[in-house]
Amino acid sequence: MGDEPTIFGRILDGDIPCHRVYEDQDVLAFLDVGPLSLGHVLVIPKERVAFLHELSDEAAAALGRVLPRIARAVMEVTGCADYNVLQNNGADAHQAVFHVHFHIIPKHADGSGLGLVWPAGELVQGETLAAALAEAI
Ligand code: DGP
C-alpha cells in the first residue's frame, strides 16, 4: 500500500464518517456507501494492507471470528435468509479500494443483492493434472 491513506484508512483515522456497525481492536464494519442491497456491510481489518494474501495471521483470525457474527446481525435486522460474502483482490478482480475488505451482501426477495456471472468450466483435464495442481497449491 502506498503512503497515501486509502478511503478506508481515512475512515479508520476518523477523517471520513461512516455508519459504523461493529468495532473491536482489530476490525471495523460499516455500511457500504453504494449498497447493492439493504444491509450491505463492509468488514475491514485495522491492519492496512491492500490484499487478502498480505494479511497477518492475527488480522485474518480477527476477521474470521467476527464475519459470521456480523452476518447473523445483518440477517436478523434485514430479514434476509440468503447473502453473499465477497472479497475482491486486484483491479481486474473488481477491487476499487486497496484496503482489504469483505462485503456482506444480503440477497432480498425483490432480487436486490449481488448479480453474478459464473462461467463454470469442468475439471476434466485429467485426474493427474488436477491432483498435481491441488498438491502444488
Ligand atoms: P471493492 O470494489 O470490492 O473495492 O468495493 C469497494 C466498496 O467500497 C464499494 O462497494 C463502495 C465502497 N465505498 C467506497 N468508498 C466508500 C466510502 O467512503 N464510504 C463507504 N461507507 N463505502 C465506500
Going by alpha carbons, the residue nearest to atom 23 of ligand 1 is 33
Tens digit of each residue's pLDDT (9 = 90 or more) over 101-135: 999 999 999 999 999 999 998 886 666 788 888 99
pLDDT bracket for residue 2 (50, 70, 90): low
What spacing in Å lies between the alpha carbon of 121 and ligand 1's midpoint?
Answer: 30
Q: Which ligand 1 atom sits nearest the alpha carbon of residue 88?
A: 3
Whether residue 90 lies inside any domain: the answer is yes
**Domain span at residue 84?**
7-136
Whether residue 99 lies inside any domain: the answer is yes
pTM: 0.96
Whether residue 89 lies inside any domain: the answer is yes
Whether residue 101 lies inside any domain: the answer is yes
What share of residues in the chain are helix, strand, coil (percent, to 5)? 30, 20, 50
Q: Is 7 in the pocket of ligand 1 (CB under 6 A)?
A: yes
Whether residue 30 lies inside any domain: the answer is yes
Domain count, the chain: 1
Whether residue 1 lies inside any domain: the answer is no
Integer angstrom CA distances of residue 121 from 49, 51, 118, 125: 32, 26, 9, 11
Tens digit of each residue's pLDDT (9 = 90 or more) over 44-80: 999 999 999 999 999 999 999 999 999 999 999 999 9
Whether residue 121 lies inside any domain: the answer is yes
User: CATH number of the domain that 39 lies in?
Assistant: 3.30.428.10
Q: Is 32 in the pocket of ligand 1 (CB under 6 A)?
A: yes
CA atoms of 79 and 88, how far apart (whole Å): 26
CA atoms of 29 and 103, how far apart (whole Å): 10
What cell does 92 get?
A: 481486474
In the predicted model, is pLDDT for residue 14 greater than 90?
Answer: yes
